[in-house]
């Protein structure tokens, strides 16, 4: 399939040099690089086990809503939490 892509000059030049060094075409270098990029698992998205430490106590203070970031910041700035 024919398509048009826009690449930075330095990236295109490096790809052309790689194609020349390998004795292949620019199209083959780009296709191989794209295949490799699509085959790699996305980094940073691995599931890890995490335990939140808990302490004895009575829970949240009255008026504290952990889903309301702005309110939490206001409470912390006021010294009420």
How far apart CA 28 and CA 34 sit, in angstroms, is: 10
Higher pLDDT, 69 or 62: 69
Q: Where are the domains of the chain?
A: 9-39
The predicted pLDDT at position 50 comes to 80
Q: pTM of the entire structure?
A: 0.49
Token digits of residue 7: 């690449």
Instruction: Report pLDDT digits (tens) over 20-68.
Output: 999 999 999 999 999 998 997 766 666 678 887 777 877 777 778 888 8
Q: Which one, of 60, 56, 59, 63, lies nearest residue 78 by Cα?
A: 63
């Amino acid at each position: 399939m024919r398509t048009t892509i826009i690449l930075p000059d330095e990236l295109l030049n490096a790809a052309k040099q790689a194609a020349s060094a390998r004795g292949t075409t620019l199209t083959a270098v780009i296709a191989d690089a794209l295949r490799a990029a699509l085959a790699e698992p996305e980094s940073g998205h691995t599931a890890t086990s995490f335990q939140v430490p808990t302490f004895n106590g009575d829970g949240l203070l009255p008026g504290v809503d952990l889903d309301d970031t702005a309110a939490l910041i206001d409470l912390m700035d006021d010294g009420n939490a």
